[in-house]
């Protein structure tokens, strides 16, 4: 009997009920002393986790070791940390309300029996969904889209077919982060072991200039001027021509049906619609789609329909990419962009080409690692893991040292990132060669001091480190050992916030991913000229899709969304599996840290122990909290017995599928 979307028994309704009771018992209206109230909330929350696990253990006929549980959670995950009492700075800090939110049961996670002692995470609280199958698996940040991908596999489609079908769906259901008005990268590992990168990154328009945003940088983020030439449809078409098995039109059918018949607003889309309702209400196109007849923004569970967008997808399904890049739809899109002060022309659309690049390969403890070349940041991922390979990361005698070393590797990596850019415009060969070099990594490792971190200058950045945003990621592995790690994006929430009413397309704001001259940062560093705007240039991306082989077979497929935090999230999930033999779910659920060199702040997710936090402070790290959902990992793993295991990161309420 095939496995289809088989979720693990840890999603306990009993635990969910207890969490609800915890949430109700300490409402924001309680009139206690705030610090006492926080401590009580934390105590109730941790207590309900313990009780939930007791119920789960009894129902599963498992033996529950209360002493072990108290040691691993009550002692390691203290209420003081939950409420930032011992943190120095906040970045949209968590609250107990967020932790006790029972939605999708993501925060009702009992401890996993036999969970290894992972040094970069204590007291797991995220409960990511997972699925198991015998033929293939898909992981996206939207359950309906994962299932659409698996349905394509069931019909005999390839991993590329499944990836395209799923990505089109994500572009509709999570239209705040991705869509055909944007672009991205598709890393493909073929059944014969060869690999390709399909680059469908957006391009600067023909009339773009390097100083076009020096007088008003906000125009790079919102409005027509922020829009780069979209690449997604050209990229999908190229990938399908090379690796597709199903008909091109078949890949569009599920998303067309959803757009035409109506779809429920998901949790994340509902959250972002609410947060940006005032801005979106200024656009008639957005109001027609995402507001009701009374002018109220749609919320989670409401039905949205996008008839015009369904018509656009149908035209592309019937006529290929020309329907998007060289048709009456193109004229409509260009007209809308110009009305919003943009400079894209029909000639820009006609000029766009998706291209293939040779992926980067390296080894990590006898495993083969495949990642992406520039203009992605795959070589930075390679640099980071090359540095860490020289340490005994399995030595758990001092976890703070291990985490500190990893953070230092992050900082050296991000310092190198400012030397990358579009290889059609700059020479990146030496930088990439160094990042892949074990000798270069050893030199960097020698500079890491176990007793302290350093001022940013120590890591020798040549230029400012640009922050990036948004994105969605999906991972696919099929029965023929074809793997796809795909990242798609429109950049900031709802991209440029420009939607063409005729086509229904929401456009990216990827001109913001370029560097702008003369804008010195707070540390006195100027932006990198290697990433300055030029006509036809593709901006640098933080994307770092990864495929890992073991003994010639795909072992797991990884990637993340989350802009500048993609690199650090992908690295930590990778290390959790390779170094500490954690399951994919354990690796994704574990708390994470993030440092990108500038600003000089270490962001941490909750549930690290005070001991570890103090150890990091003693090494002069300045700590701040990392808010939920800023980076989300999607992964697929092939187990030793041939079972496919897919996991969608609970930080974005996604769910995978398998069969």
The full DSSP string for 187-253 is: EEE-TTS-EEEEEE--B--TT--TTTTSS-GGGGTSSGGGPPBP-HHHHHHHHHHHH--S-HHHHHH
Which residues span the domain enclosing 527?
131-262+305-360+464-658
Q: What percent of the chain has pLDDT over 70?
A: 79
Question: pLDDT-derived band of residue 521, with 50, 70 and 90 as boundaries?
Answer: low
* Whole-number pLDDT of residue 456: 94
Instruction: Report whether pLDDT(26) > 60.
Output: no
Question: pLDDT-derived band of residue 563, with 50, 70 and 90 as boundaries?
Answer: confident
Domain count, the chain: 1
Lowest mean pLDDT among 27-41, 63-77, 118-132, 437-451: 63-77
Question: pLDDT-derived band of residue 470, with 50, 70 and 90 as boundaries?
Answer: low
Question: pLDDT-derived band of residue 593, with 50, 70 and 90 as boundaries?
Answer: very high
* Whole-number pLDDT of residue 239: 99
User: How far is Cα 572 from Cα 414, in angstroms, rounded to an integer?
Assistant: 15
On whether residue 514 sits in a domain, the answer given is yes
Q: Are 255 and 469 in contact (CB under 8 A)?
A: no
* Whole-number pLDDT of residue 116: 33
126 is in an annotated binding site: no
489 is in an annotated binding site: yes
Instruction: Report whether pLDDT(465) > 90.
Output: no
Question: pLDDT-derived band of residue 15, with 50, 70 and 90 as boundaries?
Answer: very low
pLDDT tens-digit readout, 31-53: 333 333 444 444 444 444 444 43
Q: Give the bridge partners for 623, in sequence order.
A: 602
Instruction: Report whether pLDDT(651) > 80.
Output: yes
User: How far is Cα 304 from Cα 281, in angstroms, rounded to an integer?
Assistant: 16
User: How far is Cα 172 from Cα 145, in angstroms, rounded to an integer?
Assistant: 10
630 is in an annotated binding site: no
On whether residue 381 sits in a domain, the answer given is no
We report the CATH number of the domain holding residue 528 as 3.60.20.40
User: How far is Cα 227 from Cα 494, in angstroms, rounded to an integer?
Assistant: 12
Mean pLDDT, residues 292-300: 98
User: How far is Cα 28 from Cα 19, in angstroms, rounded to an integer?
Assistant: 16
In the numeric block, which tokens belong to residue 202?
Answer: 């957006």
Question: pLDDT-derived band of residue 467, with 50, 70 and 90 as boundaries?
Answer: low
User: How far is Cα 182 from Cα 278, in angstroms, rounded to an integer?
Assistant: 23
On whether residue 282 sits in a domain, the answer given is no
Lowest mean pLDDT among 56-65, 69-78, 480-489: 69-78
Mean pLDDT, residues 90-113: 26
Question: pLDDT-derived band of residue 466, with 50, 70 and 90 as boundaries?
Answer: low
On whether residue 107 sits in a domain, the answer given is no
Mean pLDDT, residues 86-111: 28
On whether residue 15 sits in a domain, the answer given is no
Question: pLDDT-derived band of residue 108, with 50, 70 and 90 as boundaries?
Answer: very low
619 is in an annotated binding site: no
Instruction: Report whether pLDDT(54) > 50.
Output: no
Report CA torsion sign: 441, 442, 446, 452: positive
On whether residue 164 sits in a domain, the answer given is yes
586 burial level (CB within 10 Å; 0-12, 13-18, 19+): buried
* Whole-number pLDDT of residue 606: 81
* Whole-number pLDDT of residue 469: 61
92 is in an annotated binding site: no
**What does 318-377 look like in DSSP terms, one character per residue?**
HHTTHHHHSSHHHHHHHHHHHHTT----HHHHHH---EEEPPEEEEETTEEEEE--TTSS
* Highest mean pLDDT (candidates 80-89, 118-127, 610-619): 610-619
Q: What percent of the chain has pLDDT over 90?
A: 74
330 is in an annotated binding site: no
On whether residue 570 sits in a domain, the answer given is yes
Average pLDDT of the chain is 84
* Whole-number pLDDT of residue 38: 41
- What one-character DSSP code corresponds to residue 89? B
Greater model confidence, 207 or 1? 207
Q: 10 Å Cβ neighbour count for 524? A: 8
Q: 10 Å Cβ neighbour count for 519? A: 12
* Whole-number pLDDT of residue 468: 60
User: How far is Cα 594 from Cα 407, in angstroms, rounded to an integer?
Assistant: 8
24 is in an annotated binding site: no
> Tokens 């936090």 belong to which residue?
613
Instruction: Report whether pLDDT(114) > 50.
Output: no
* Whole-number pLDDT of residue 14: 28
Q: Give the bridge partners for 635, in sequence order.
A: 558, 647
Pair type for strands 183-189 and 483-489? antiparallel
Lowest mean pLDDT among 109-118, 357-366, 541-550: 109-118
pTM exceeds 0.85, yes or no: no
Mean pLDDT, residues 248-256: 99
* Whole-number pLDDT of residue 629: 65
* Whole-number pLDDT of residue 117: 35
* Highest mean pLDDT (candidates 18-27, 183-192, 620-629): 183-192
Instruction: Report whether pLDDT(318) > 80.
Output: yes
Q: 10 Å Cβ neighbour count for 197? A: 23
123 is in an annotated binding site: no
CB-based contacts of 93, cutoff 8 Å, min separation 6: 84, 87, 625, 627
* Whole-number pLDDT of residue 263: 99
On whether residue 293 sits in a domain, the answer given is no
Catalytic residues: 471
- What one-character DSSP code corresponds to residue 130? E
339 burial level (CB within 10 Å; 0-12, 13-18, 19+): exposed
pLDDT tens-digit readout, 609-636: 899 999 999 999 999 988 766 789 999 9
């Amino acid at each position: 009997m095939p496995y289809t979307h088989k979720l693990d028994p840890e999603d306990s309704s009993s635990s969910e009920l207890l969490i609800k009771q915890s949430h109700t018992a300490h409402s924001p209206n309680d009139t206690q002393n705030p610090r006492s109230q926080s401590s009580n909330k934390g105590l109730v929350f941790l207590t309900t986790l313990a009780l939930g696990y007791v119920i789960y253990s009894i129902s599963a006929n498992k033996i529950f070791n209360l002493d072990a549980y108290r040691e691993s959670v009550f002692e390691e995950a203290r209420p003081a940390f939950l409420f930032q009492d011992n943190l120095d700075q906040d970045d949209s800090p968590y609250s107990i309300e967020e932790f006790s939110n029972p939605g999708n049961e993501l925060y009702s996670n009992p401890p996993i029996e036999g969970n290894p002692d992972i040094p970069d995470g204590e007291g797991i609280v995220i409960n990511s969904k997972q699925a198991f199958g015998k033929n293939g698996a898909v992981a996206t940040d939207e359950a309906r889209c994962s299932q659409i991908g698996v349905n394509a596999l069931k019909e005999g489609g390839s991993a590329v077919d499944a990836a395209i079908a799923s990505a089109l769906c994500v572009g509709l259901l999570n239209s705040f982060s991705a869509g055909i008005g944007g672009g991205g990268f598709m890393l493909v590992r073929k059944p014969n072991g060869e690999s390709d990168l399909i680059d469908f990154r957006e391009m600067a328009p023909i009339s773009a200039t390097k100083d076009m945003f020096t007088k008003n940088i906000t125009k790079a983020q919102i409005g027509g001027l922020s829009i780069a030439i979209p690449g997604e449809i050209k990229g999908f078409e190229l990938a399908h021509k090379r690796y597709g098995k199903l008909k091109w039109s078949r890949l569009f059918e599920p998303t067309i049906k959803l757009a035409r018949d109506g779809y429920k607003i998901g949790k994340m889309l509902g959250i972002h619609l609410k947060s940006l309702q005032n801005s979106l209400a200024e656009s008639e196109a957005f109001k027609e789609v995402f507001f009701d007849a009374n002018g109220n923004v749609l919320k989670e569970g409401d039905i949205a329909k996008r008839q015009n967008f369904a018509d656009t997808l149908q035209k592309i399904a019937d006529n290929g990419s020309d329907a998007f890049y060289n048709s009456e739809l193109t004229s409509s899109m260009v007209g809308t962009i110009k009305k919003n002060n943009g400079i894209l022309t029909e000639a820009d659309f006609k000029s766009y080409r998706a291209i293939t690049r040779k992926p980067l390969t390296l080894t990590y403890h006898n495993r083969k690692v495949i990642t992406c070349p520039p203009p992605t940041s795959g070589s930075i991922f390679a640099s980071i893991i090359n540095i860490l390979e020289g340490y005994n990361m399995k030595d758990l005698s001092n976890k703070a040292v291990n985490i500190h070393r990893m953070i230092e590797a992050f900082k050296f990596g991000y310092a190198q990132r400012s030397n990358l850019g579009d290889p059609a415009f700059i020479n990146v060969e030496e930088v990439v060669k160094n990042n892949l070099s074990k000798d270069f990594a050893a030199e960097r490792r020698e500079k890491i001091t176990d007793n302290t971190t350093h001022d940013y200058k120590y890591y020798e950045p040549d230029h400012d480190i640009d922050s990036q945003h948004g994105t969605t990621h999906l991972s696919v592995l099929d029965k023929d050992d074809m793997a796809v790690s795909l990242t798609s994006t429109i950049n900031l929430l709802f991209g440029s916030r420009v939607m063409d009413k005729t086509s229904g397309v929401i456009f990216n704001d990827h001109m913001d991913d370029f560097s702008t001259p003369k804008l010195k940062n707070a540390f006195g560093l100027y932006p990198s000229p290697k990433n300055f705007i030029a006509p036809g240039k593709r901006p640098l991306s933080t994307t770092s899709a990864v495929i890992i082989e073991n003994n010639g077979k795909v072992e797991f497929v990884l990637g993340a969304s989350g802009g500048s935090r993609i690199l650090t999230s992908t690295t930590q999930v990778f290390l959790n599996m390779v170094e500490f033999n954690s399951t994919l779910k354990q690796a994704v659920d574990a708390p994470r840290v993030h440092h990108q060199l500038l600003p000089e702040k270490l962001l941490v997710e909750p549930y690290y122990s005070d001991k570890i936090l103090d150890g990091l402070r003693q090494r002069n790290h300045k700590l701040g909290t990392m808010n939920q959902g800023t980076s989300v990992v999607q992964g697929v793993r092939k187990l030793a017995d041939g079972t496919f295991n897919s996991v969608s990161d609970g930080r974005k309420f996604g769910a995978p599928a398998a069969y």
